[in-house]
A and B are shown apart, each in its own frame.
Chain A
Amino acid sequence: MTAARLASIGLFLGLGLIWEIWVTISGVSSLLVPAPSAVLAVLWQGLTDGFLWPHIRVTFAETLLGFALGSIIGFAFGVLLSEVDVLRRVLWPYILASQVVPKLALGPIFIVWFGFGLTSIVIITALICFFPLLENTVTGLRSAPADQRDLFRMLGASRLQTLLRLKIPAGLPVILAGVRVSVVLAIVGAVVGEFISGGQGLGASIIAAQGMMDTTLMFALFIVITVMGMLFYQLTILAERWLLRRRQTGDEI
């Protein structure tokens, strides 16, 4: 473990301690700011008595489904738009417009179309994940150097071969950077989607806790969401490292 990692953990513990002391001596209401010890107690209870798990499962499923759907479609569209120039010029303004619209504002209409619950939230999440993948795929597929593209022409490679064996592998670092952005946005999408349309899940639980003025539970839910987000992020980092293990990276040599 590096010194920086230790310092990070130390900072976290230190801030928690200061917070705990401040809450105790200032006597601020736990309805406004709960003590970290109380939050941890609620979190522990929620995890052990099984109250939190169904919500975690729902949000996890929505995030994963939305992310997978949005990323796959974003990647596919990215490939299509960068290969067919006409299509890109025709469709780009529409795609851009669809991204400028705040997607959560579309939530109510999705509820009308798809009903409350999973489907609507997955679609909102997918819509949010779609654009980073699309944009990074379009950029990534252009990143193969001109010499390498000429090489494939000289070798008589077909268009499909050039795509599969040059453009996609060459663009992979950029595409994976898009995946990293998407995965973080996916959690935001799922949680906020639940604010609008969820009956279950971590976001829906935050709204329910707010209704009961249970600030401590809200904080406990923040922690769960944060941990889940960091887990997803770390998984993509690991996948990225594995996929790019052969490439030149700054810290390798």
Chain B
Amino acid sequence: MTDRARALTLQQVDFAYPGEAPILQDASLSLAQGDFHCLVGRSGCGKTTLLKIAAGLLRPTAGCVRIGDTILDGPSRQIGFVFQTPSLLDWRSVLDNVLLPISLHRSVTATDRARAMDLLALVGIDAHAQRYPCQMSGGQQSRVSLARALVTEPPFLLMDEPFAAVDAITREDLQNDLLRLTRAQGTTVLFVTHDIAEAVYLASHVSVMQSGRITRSLAIDVPERASGDSRYHPQAIRQCEEIKAALAPALGTVTP
């Protein structure tokens, strides 16, 4: 697959439920291959809707989503999706949950199983492969859902505040796992969060959303990214403040 075919573009996307106020207006995004793009905004600004449109789960009322040159017209298996909740199947073992994207389409081979175990090892829970989700902590469940999204090595990964429900220390570990895995696979990531520090730590680009519009886009340029200390690098802190300022309600825009 060429680099160009692995680009994800949203072109002037509008979205509204029939007879209701628009949720998204003129939202455009462009992700090159290997980009880690974070979408930051307050609750209810339309981030999740934008993500679902990028996934093909929702159809935009105007505009379009492209993967390379092809217009996306429904959910695509090229796209991995990680939800706010781990959404594991309680009645399946951890390993079976990770293998679900494969087992829905063909019988699972020994190679698949080995690959799933490798992924579980990378997120540090291979010892729990035969356990069931209800025997695991929230952080462990999030790791399983990450492994599930990556098991088919999708070129794109969309994530909807996946770490919002875990404690701060676990969250930092999960962020590092995520960076390691997506860099190894060259995955293009669109990551929704309301946590500015998380966005700056993870992303190569951050877009700020306010009431259905993308109001600001900036490239993140922190030296020694993801070395562990880069969270507290002065440059990182400066960019956090910049985003925070962009998130403050703009003067003159009154939402009904």
Contacts and interface: CB of A to CB of B under 8 A. Distances in A.
Contact of B134 (A154, A155, A247): A247
Contacts of B101: 155
A155 B104 contact: yes
A54 interface: no
B206 interface: no
Contacts of B244: none
Contact of B75 (A148, A153, A252): A153
Contact of A169 (B83, B91, B105): B91
A151 interface: yes
A246 interface: yes
Nearest to A161: B104
Interface in B36-67: 52, 55, 57
B83 A150 contact: yes
A154 B132 contact: no
Contacts of B201: none
Contacts of B233: none
A148 B55 contact: no
Q: Is the interface of A mostly helix, strand, loop or mixed?
A: helix
A205 B230 CA distance: 84
Given A161-B104, A246-B132, A248-B134, A154 B75 contact: yes
Given A155-B104, A156-B104, A147 B87 contact: yes
A248 B90 contact: yes
B104 A165 contact: yes
A151 B104 contact: no
Which range contains the number of A residues in contact with the other chain? 20 to 34
A154 B160 CA distance: 14
Interface string A161-182: 1000110011010000000000
Contacts of B100: 155
A148 B89 contact: yes
B84 interface: yes
Nearest to B80: A154
Nearest to A247: B90
Interface in B91-125: 91, 100-101, 104-105
Interface in A144-160: 145, 147-148, 150-157
A156 B89 contact: no
A151 B91 contact: no
Interface string B124-156: 000000001010000000000000000000000
A145 B87 CA distance: 8
B81 interface: yes
23 contacts: A145-B87, A147-B84, A147-B85, A147-B87, A148-B87, A150-B81, A151-B81, A151-B83, A151-B87, A153-B57, A154-B81, A155-B77, A156-B75, A156-B77, A156-B104, A161-B104, A165-B89, A246-B132, A247-B90, A247-B134, A248-B134, A252-B134, A253-B134
Interface of A: 145, 147-148, 150-157, 161, 165-166, 169-170, 172, 246-248, 252-253
